[in-house]
Amino acid sequence: MRIIYKKNGFWESFSLTNKFILFTVIASILGFIFIAVFGEDFFLNYIAIKPALVFSGKSLWTFFTSILVHGGFFHLFANMFSLFFLGNLLEKIIGSKRFFWVYIFSGLLGGIFYIFSAYFFGDLSVAAVGASGAIFGLLGVLAVLTPNSRIYLIVGPLILLFLQVVITGFLPNSFLAVFSIIFNLLFILMIFSMFSFNSSLRKIAVPLELKMWVLPIVAIVPLVIIGFFVDLPIGNSAHFGGLVFGLIYGYYLRKKFPNKARIIRNTFR
């Protein structure tokens, strides 16, 4: 009897999560190029999701394209950093196939929540991009299946974002570019300080240890409250839409596979 051992290629060695990250990085870079070549209006009308166009029956494909592209380096890095840890963990728990559909449908429902929140409460002309809705869907599933697992919320970058929005309004245009560079460098320093073996250096990122079920609340509610006073460039409604799908799907899995769900819950304490 002859046995043939099949070796996995380089591409096959990637998890689906990491493939999503790669596709998203490439799509975002292409989006930056489109802005430079065709102008910002092309990007906002044909790639980002704009409620006014969706309600008029145009640019319906942007429900998908808006999940892939991002508004800048900070936005892209923050989302892909979160996706790497949350996505790879959830993919190992529920498998690649279920992970794929959770990610896609969370992103789509996030887009639906965004356009309807704009219709009832916001501005139909404001476009949105980013994978945040899809990522919050993953967080929702994890909050149900592994509620007591521990995770760190890196508060420092959120503080930086808030300060950037507030301070930018008081800075002259000549200082905006310099301030943006300083902001991005501090953001990167905070992120990578979390991987340091030096506990004092890790404090730069202002890490806050939370149980998984608490993280969605902390990640959404404060930003919603701040949004009443400061115009933050964050689509909280899209986050909430993705989270809703994730929570529903997480409860569906817990009811359908009670024994497996109990083992998972006990494993991740």
Compute the C-alpha angle 266/267/269, nearest 5°.
70
Is residue 92 pLDDT above 60, yes or no? yes
Contact 194, 207 (CB under 8 A): yes
Contact 133, 235 (CB under 8 A): yes
**Encoding tokens for residue 98?**
């279920």
Q: Which residue has the higher pLDDT, 187 or 9?
A: 187
Alpha helices, DSSP H only, in the chain? Answer: 16-38, 40-46, 51-55, 62-68, 73-94, 96-120, 132-145, 155-168, 173-193, 199-202, 215-227, 236-256, 258-267
Q: What is the value of pTM for the model shown?
A: 0.85
Is residue 4 pLDDT above 70, yes or no? no
- State which amino acid sits at residue 229: F
Q: Which residue has the higher pLDDT, 49 or 188?
A: 49
* pLDDT value of residue 230: 65
15-48 tens-digit pLDDT: 999 999 999 999 999 999 989 898 888 898 999 9
* pLDDT value of residue 6: 53
**Encoding tokens for residue 150?**
């521990």
* pLDDT value of residue 176: 72
Is residue 248 pLDDT above 90, yes or no? yes
Contact 24, 71 (CB under 8 A): no
* pLDDT value of residue 9: 65
Based on its alpha-carbon atoms, the radius of gyration of the chain, rounded to whole angstroms, reads 20
| 67-76, 189-198, 232-241: least confidently modelled range | 189-198
CA–CA dist 75, 63 (Å, integer)? 18
Is residue 106 pLDDT above 70, yes or no? yes
Q: How confident is the model at residue 206 (pLDDT cuts 50, 70, 90)?
A: confident
Q: Which residue has the higher pLDDT, 36 or 138?
A: 138
What ranges do the domains of the chain cover?
16-149+212-267, 152-210
For domain 16-149+212-267, the question of CATH label 3.40.50.1820 is answered with no
How confident is the model over 71-85, as a mean pLDDT? 88
